[in-house]
Amino acid sequence: MSETMGYLSGMSIGGTVVEFVSHDIKETREIIQDDGLRGTRTRALERVAQGNIKVAGSITMQPSPVELTAVLKYLLSSGSGLALTDAMQDVVVVVATPVITNTYTGRFTSGEFTGEPGKKVTLKLNFVGKTLSTGAGGALAAPDLTQRPYMFYDMGSGITIGGTAYSIDKFHLMFDNKIEPTYMQGQAATDLEPTDRVITLGIQTKYTSTEAGLLVTAQTGPVIASPQAASVAFTNGSDSLTFTFGALVATSETVVVPGRQHLRLPLNYQCYGVGTTKEVVTTNG
């Protein structure tokens, strides 16, 4: 019998078929061992029990504008838009292989955008679930192939901080909803409520007298009267993905000299809301 190959797999998120690079979402049912003392080192099968059912893992994808429209609302919002909300919503993830189709119901506890020169923008979604149901193996419909994924060079002139555009060669944006599953008397999780929201932005710029001003600002610390606003936009044909940050505060790190290569200034920001402005305003489409 021939092997089952990964390329035959398909995925849908919230009812939309998407292309994905990999996933490691799985259900785990741990065994609760017998740790009692009985005058022997032999562990008794009669005292072994099954523990909580845990559903968790991640999805790695290189999303197009259409795929982001389908996915982002489950990371950011409780509704159909992309505005940050305290409440969140469940999402159904279906993974189909020729052998079996798994349907997971849960939430995205975090999402991480990364990019670097010459490569596609990657989104890693960390998923925590409540239930898994299985069905017959098969194939899903083909994903939308009318648009290419966002590329790092779609950023154009780079990131704008405090009204000045800066070139960057690394980009890392994390939305972390800090979801911890709630277990009551049953084995399966009953609730998946966020406990916090931490949004961080990491970039790497050149190190000239222009960028050195960003380090000075980081060393000064947060200035409530004049928050460090920023924005970055990726343009893909007629579509664009834009993140606008209300207030950035950077961890101050001075530049090191690793060798003969170009020197780079690392900037690791935490994103804060200021006044009625949320930490990040996201638009896509």
Task: Name which of 251, 252, 253, 230 is nearest 242 in CA terms.
Answer: 230
Please give the pLDDT value at position 110: 98
Task: Name which of 272, 282, 168 is nearest 228 in CA terms.
Answer: 272
How confident is the model over 202-212, as a mean pLDDT?
93
- What tens digit of pLDDT does each residue of 250-278 get? 988 899 999 999 999 999 999 999 989 99
Q: How confident is the model at residue 218 (pLDDT cuts 50, 70, 90)?
A: confident
10 forms bridges with which residues in the sheet? 96
Q: Is a pLDDT exceeding 80 seen at residue 225? A: no
Question: Mean of the per-residue pLDDT values for the chain?
Answer: 94
| Helix residue ranges per DSSP H, 86-233 | 209-220
- In sequence order, the 6+-apart residues with CB closer than 8 A to the CB of 231 are 159, 160, 242, 243, 244, 245
Please give the pLDDT value at position 227: 81
- The answer to whether the beta carbons of residues 243 and 186 sit under 8 Å apart is no
- The answer to whether the beta carbons of residues 167 and 158 sit under 8 Å apart is yes
* Cα 248 to Cα 272: distance, rounded to the nearest angstrom: 6
Please give the pLDDT value at position 223: 75
Q: Which residue has the tokens 């406990």?
A: 195
Q: Which residue type does 72 have?
A: L
Please give the pLDDT value at position 118: 96
Q: Is a pLDDT exceeding 70 seen at residue 220? A: yes
Q: Is a pLDDT exceeding 70 seen at residue 119? A: yes
* Cα 185 to Cα 44: distance, rounded to the nearest angstrom: 25
Our CA angle for 197, 201, 203, nearest 5°, is 170
Neighbours of 268 (CB within 10 A): 16
Q: What is the pTM of this model?
A: 0.94
* Cα 1 to Cα 64: distance, rounded to the nearest angstrom: 36
Task: Name which of 257, 260, 279, 261 is nearest 270 in CA terms.
Answer: 279
Collapsing DSSP to helix, strand or coil, 279 comes out as: coil
- The answer to whether the beta carbons of residues 109 and 174 sit under 8 Å apart is no
How confident is the model over 110-118, as a mean pLDDT?
97
How many residues comprise the chain? 285
- What tens digit of pLDDT does each residue of 24-74 get? 999 999 999 888 898 999 989 999 999 999 999 999 999 999 999 999 999
**Lowest mean pLDDT across 55-59, 126-130, 212-216:** 212-216
Please give the pLDDT value at position 169: 95
